Amino acid sequence: MTTDNITLTKKLGNTDIEVSALGIGTWAWGDSFFWDYGKTYGKDDIEEAFKATVAGGVTFFDTAEVYGNGKSEQLLGEFCQATDQKIDIATKYAPFPWRLFGGCVADALTQSLKNLQMDYIPLYQVHWPFMLMGQETLMNALADEVEKGRIGAIGVSNYSAEEMKKASEILGKRNIPLAVNQVKYSLLTRKIESKGILKTAQELGITLLAYSPLAQGLLTGKYNLDNAPNPEGARKLDSRFSASGLSKITPVLELLKQLGEKYQKTPAQVSLNWLMGQENVIPIPGAKNAKQAKDNTGALGWSLTTDEIAQLAEITQPWLKS
Predicted model pTM:
0.95
Q: CA-CA distance, 211 to 202, in Å (whole number)?
A: 18
pLDDT at residue 260, rounded to an integer = 97
Reading the chain (322 residues) residue by residue, the pLDDT tens digits are: 444 457 799 999 999 999 999 999 999 999 998 888 999 999 999 999 999 999 999 999 999 999 999 999 999 999 999 999 999 999 999 999 999 999 999 999 999 999 999 999 999 999 999 888 999 999 999 999 999 999 999 999 999 999 999 999 999 999 999 999 999 999 999 999 999 999 999 999 999 999 999 998 899 988 777 766 666 655 665 667 766 778 889 999 999 999 999 999 999 999 999 999 998 999 999 999 999 999 999 999 999 999 999 999 999 999 998 8
Residue 13 burial (10 A CB sphere; 0-12, 13-18, 19+): buried
Is the distance from CB of 275 to CB of 210 less than 8 angstroms? yes
Q: CA-CA distance, 260 to 266, in Å (whole number)?
A: 5
pLDDT at residue 110, rounded to an integer = 98
- Tell me if residue 37 is catalytic: no
pLDDT at residue 287, rounded to an integer = 96
What is the number of alpha carbons within 13 Å of residue 33 lying toward its C-beta? 8
Q: CA-CA distance, 226 to 128, in Å (whole number)?
A: 38
Q: CA-CA distance, 79 to 58, in Å (whole number)?
A: 14
Among residues 37, 67, 211, 223, the one annotated as catalytic is 67
In order of their start, the domains of the chain are 9-217+266-302 (3.20.20.100)
CA 130 to chain centroid, in Å, comes to: 20
Is the distance from CB of 231 to CB of 241 less than 8 angstroms? yes
Other residues' Cβ atoms within 10 Å of the Cβ of residue 310: 12
